[in-house]
Amino acid sequence: MSNSLVLLAEDELSLAHIVRESLYERGFQVVLCANGEVALKKYKEMKPDILVLDVMMPIKDGFTVAKEIRQSDKNIPIIFLTAKSQVKDVVEGFELGANDYLKKPFSVEELIIRIQVQLSKNGLLQVETPLLEVYQFGDYVFNPRKNLLNYGNHAKALTSRESEILNLLFIHKQEVLSKSVLLTKLWGSDSFFNARSLDVFITKLRKKLMNDPSVRIINVRGIGYKLVY
């Protein structure tokens, strides 16, 4: 996945440069285009691995670019960036062949994860956070490899998904982990139904962490979750 070539078409230059630099730091190559016409030209010249297209661009908008590309290339992943939030706009984007759709404002981290998801062979991002033998927080000892949460002499079995969520929360302990990032990493999509599933798993984890009141999974409204202890 490293050295993959991302074609980024975004006419808001300050945002474009931030995204480009962040992608460079992750090992991606980036070709930056300020409008849809340039994006089409660079696509034909450079054969990128993925397209990230702003919808509202001068000369040719992102929808037009995607429509023209899809006439000859059905496989290249396309992610739309847009300030449009109406359902009909999202539907139109997917009907034109979008693989993903990210509404502005967005976190660059979330965009990078979505790019990684599209570039992964099976369409799902493999979680790359390290798994230690055990983690300790508060009075708990957590073994992510065995899906076990120990409190004193009592061990509670976790499901694989519960263990994955707790592992990510611990890796990002004391910081807010975006709900969208969590969903995209573990489910591959931040759809409404996946979000409801995540809420259920968080509730179950909270119940299993009730023995030590100093350990909590905090819901940061509108953003995500934070493990504190």
- Banded model confidence at residue 193, pLDDT cuts 50, 70, 90: confident
Does 45 score more than 90 pLDDT?
yes
Interval 13-19 mean pLDDT: 90
Does 85 score more than 70 pLDDT?
no
What is the model's pLDDT at position 132?
A: 53
What is the model's pLDDT at position 124?
A: 40
Report the amino acid identity of residue 8. L
Pairwise CA distance, residues 109 & 22, whole Å: 8
pTM of the model: 0.56
H/E element, 31:
strand 29-33
Does 2 score more than 90 pLDDT?
no
> Tokens representing 216?
């909590």
Pairwise CA distance, residues 35 & 12, whole Å: 10
Going through 38-185 in order, the beta strands assigned E by DSSP cover 50-54, 78-82, 100-103, 135-137, 140-143, 148-151, 154-157, 177-178
What is the model's pLDDT at position 98?
A: 82
Residues 6+ apart with CB under 8 A from 64: 36
For 187, the 3-state DSSP assignment is: coil
Residue with tokens 């990684």: 116
Does 113 score more than 90 pLDDT?
no
Which one has a higher pLDDT value, 98 or 207?
207
- Chain-wide mean pLDDT for the chain? 85
Q: Answer whether 34's CB lies under 8 Å from 17's CB.
A: no
Does 15 score more than 60 pLDDT?
yes
